[in-house]
């Protein structure tokens, strides 16, 4: 089912009105560890209500150049801790061009965030601005060259967290091993500038492959040498790898899995070594019902300590009609750490209705 547009603009552009109305029960809204004297670091639970009206403009229908421009405002209200209420803007632009020989893609966005993460606690307000642009061109029947540039800026609204600018430039050369598989030789440069801690420069040299490895297995992977140079402190190197694969279990059931080993920088400017692994599944069990779920693991080496973070989720979606969908989900998060006070557990139940007209 596909929604008809709210407004057709010419032959190739359509405007949709979008919206989400949701509620979630969160038993640890600050990701606290439930320890500490005099009530410090205690878990706080709450019921959270959200309304997110928006617009989505799509263009390029039937042409080589396609894209979309979307924006929505999320109004969040907490039942007990009303001082946390926010209204936040999200805006995104995406475009693609593909003539068979040349492929181009562009993405840009501005996100106002007030969310937790494994190393961002207490509903920390921040603004994220980003731009991604890249392309790939075939230079012969068997070879292609790809290059991209991305820039990400984070602006934190709370003391103790570091604004950051990250510039990433990946370069890849592809050689066709078979009709459906390409050998990939790659290099990635990444520059991270922070207000707190040390700036870093990463150089990742890798080799891998992409394509359809079997009739049901598709994706890409690479492995190589990764080195981080710091403005202050000792340089580091490690084995780097990335993998993102999909397997079609049945025509209506898909499995997704992957892993990576890379450097990182925490929100407070600390150096990290991150190993991550994930697995997800999605199944369309009828014309109106879809189910999904996943589990991810992240080992975070902060040099002075190591955290192990696990996150799992299950969800179900019911398509009422072409314009309305209802979804329910449960998420579990657990962080164990060598450092007392950094551990937490979190359970979130959510229910939402999504509109697109």
Tens-level pLDDT at each residue, the chain (357 residues): 566 666 777 678 999 999 999 999 999 999 998 754 444 567 899 999 999 999 999 999 889 999 999 999 999 999 999 999 999 999 999 999 999 899 999 999 999 999 999 988 889 999 999 999 999 999 999 999 999 999 999 999 999 899 999 999 999 999 999 999 999 999 999 999 999 999 999 999 999 999 999 999 999 999 999 999 999 989 999 999 999 999 999 999 999 999 999 999 999 999 999 999 999 999 999 999 999 999 999 999 998 899 999 999 999 999 999 999 999 999 999 999 988 888 999 999 999 999 999
pLDDT of 38: 43
* Residues in contact with 235: Cβ distance below 8 Å, sequence separation at least 6, in sequence order: 227, 228, 229
Is there a contact between 93 and 127 (Cβ–Cβ < 8 Å)?
A: no
Is there a contact between 137 and 102 (Cβ–Cβ < 8 Å)?
A: yes
Structure tokens at 111: 């996100």
CB atoms within 10 A of CB 273: 18
- Please state the domain extents for the chain: 7-246+322-356
Closest CA to 97 of 87, 84, 107, 110: 107
User: What distance separates the 2 farthest-apart alpha carbons in the chain?
Assistant: 70
* Residues in contact with 304: Cβ distance below 8 Å, sequence separation at least 6, in sequence order: none
- What is the assigned CATH class of domain 7-246+322-356? mainly beta
Closest CA to 205 of 184, 177, 233, 236: 184
Place of tokens 């820039």: 151
Is there a contact between 208 and 177 (Cβ–Cβ < 8 Å)?
A: no
Distance between CA atoms of residues 163 and 149, nearest Å: 20
Distance between CA atoms of residues 251 and 143, nearest Å: 32
b/e 247-262 (16+ beta carbons within 10 angstroms → b)? beeeeeebbbbbbbbb
């Amino acid at each position: 089912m596909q929604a008809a547009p709210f407004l057709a603009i010419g032959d190739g552009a359509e405007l949709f009105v979008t919206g989400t109305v949701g509620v979630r029960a969160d038993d640890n809204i600050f990701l606290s560890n439930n320890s500490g004297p005099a009530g410090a670091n205690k878990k706080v639970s709450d019921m959270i209500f959200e309304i997110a009206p928006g617009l989505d403009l799509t263009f390029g229908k039937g042409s080589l150049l396609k894209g979309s421009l979307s924006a929505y405002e999320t109004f969040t209200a907490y039942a007990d801790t009303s001082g946390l209420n926010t209204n936040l803007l999200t805006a995104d632009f995406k475009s693609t061009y593909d003539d068979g020989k040349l492929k181009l893609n562009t993405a840009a966005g501005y996100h106002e965030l007030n969310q937790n993460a494994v190393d961002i606690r207490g509903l920390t307000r921040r603004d994220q601005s980003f731009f991604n642009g890249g392309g790939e061109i075939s230079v012969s029947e068997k070879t292609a060259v790809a290059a991209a540039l991305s820039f990400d800026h984070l602006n934190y609204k709370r003391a103790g967290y570091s604004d950051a600018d990250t510039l990433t430039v990946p370069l890849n050369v592809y050689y066709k091993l078979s009709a459906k598989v390409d050998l990939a030789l790659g290099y990635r440069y990444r520059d991270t500038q922070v207000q707190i801690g040390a700036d870093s420069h990463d150089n990742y040299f890798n080799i891998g492959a992409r394509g359809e490895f079997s009739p049901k297995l598709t994706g890409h992977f690479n492995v190589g040498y990764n080195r981080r140079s710091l403005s202050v402190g000792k340089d580091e190197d490690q084995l780097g790898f990335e993998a993102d694969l999909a397997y079609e279990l049945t025509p209506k059931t898909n499995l997704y899995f992957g892993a990576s080993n890379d450097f990182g920088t925490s929100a407070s400017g600390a150096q990290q070594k991150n190993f991550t692994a994930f697995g997800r599944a999605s199944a369309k069990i009828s014309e109106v019902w879809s189910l999904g779920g996943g589990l991810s693991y992240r080992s975070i080496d902060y040099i002075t300590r190591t955290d192990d973070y696990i996150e799992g989720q299950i969800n179900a979606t019911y398509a009422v009609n072409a314009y309305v969908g209802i979804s329910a989900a449960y998420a579990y998060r657990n962080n164990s750490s060598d450092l007392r006070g950094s551990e937490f557990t979190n359970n979130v139940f959510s229910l939402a209705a999504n509109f697109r007209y």
